[in-house]
């Protein structure tokens, strides 16, 4: 509910004092103080009432229309004039304007707070990105400082790799040579084995032949000899 303007309070006090003196209020307030309700007294006319309530002359026709008055001369005592309380209405308009301004400022403040929060988050993200970029730059700088050593290590690794490849090739070549030599040696051993087997077979045949001859000689030696006398007599 809007507060009453100080001018209205003073005017109300004056009216209250007059009402105490006359035992009847001069006017009443309605619409939360935005409208004066004045009951006409004998001898009152719209111009005097407008002057009493500080209504401009140009606004008197509008005042009459708002009160449904078509013939000002036909208004009798006791008619209730409803006269706009311009000060209260201006104050109410100002209050409405202030409320609207307050609401707008509240919205602007909320929007500004949201933008500030967003800016804070963006700044935090930027700081994190900057920190990450700084960390990457530090790592890059460290890698750059280690690059000569890395190059030397790569060269050494290449030399070692070439040496290893050469050693592997030599080992493979020697392995092939050893395999060929082993095959050749195996072939020679097989030939020797076959030759030795043939020699043993030949020796066996010779032994068999010798044994056969020995048995033949033994048989011949074991046969009975003729007596010598018989031979002699036959000779005679």
Domains of the chain, CATH where assigned: 6-84 (3.10.350)
Q: Between residues 31 and 23, which one has the greater pLDDT? A: 31
Q: What is the pLDDT of residue 58?
A: 86
* pLDDT of 45: 84
With a cut of 60, say whether residue 23 has pLDDT above it. no
> Are the beta carbons of 35 and 66 closer than 8 angstroms?
no
Q: Strand pairing of 35-39 and 28-30?
A: antiparallel
pLDDT of 234 over the 80 cut: no
Residue 171 pLDDT greater than 60, yes or no = yes
The region of weakest confidence among 12-16, 59-63, 73-77, 133-137 is: 12-16
CA pair distance 236, 231, nearest whole angstrom? 9
């Amino acid at each position: 509910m809007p507060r009453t303007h100080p001018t209205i309070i003073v005017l109300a006090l004056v009216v209250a004092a007059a009402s105490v003196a006359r035992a009847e209020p001069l006017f009443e307030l309605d619409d939360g103080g935005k409208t004066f309700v004045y009951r006409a007294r004998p001898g009152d006319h719209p111009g005097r009432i407008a002057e009493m309530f500080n209504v401009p002359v140009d606004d008197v026709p509008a005042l009459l229309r708002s009160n449904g008055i078509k013939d000002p001369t036909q208004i009798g005592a006791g008619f209730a004039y409803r006269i706009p309380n311009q000060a209260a209405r201006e104050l109410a308009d100002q209050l409405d304007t202030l409320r609207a301004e307050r609401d707008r400022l509240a919205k602007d403040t909320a929007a500004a707070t949201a933008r500030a929060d967003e800016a804070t988050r963006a700044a935090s993200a930027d700081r994190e990105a900057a920190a990450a970029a700084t960390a990457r730059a530090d790592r890059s700088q460290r890698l750059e400082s280690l690059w000569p050593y890395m190059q030397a290590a790569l060269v050494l690794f290449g030399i070692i790799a070439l040496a290893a490849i050469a050693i592997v090739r030599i080992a493979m070549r020697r392995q092939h040579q050893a395999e060929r030599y082993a095959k050749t040696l195996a072939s020679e051993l097989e030939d020797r084995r076959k030759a030795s087997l043939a020699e043993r077979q030949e020796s066996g045949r010779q032994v068999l032949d010798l044994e056969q001859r020995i048995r033949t000689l033994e048989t011949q030696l074991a046969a009975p000899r003729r007596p010598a006398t018989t031979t002699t007599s036959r000779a005679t």
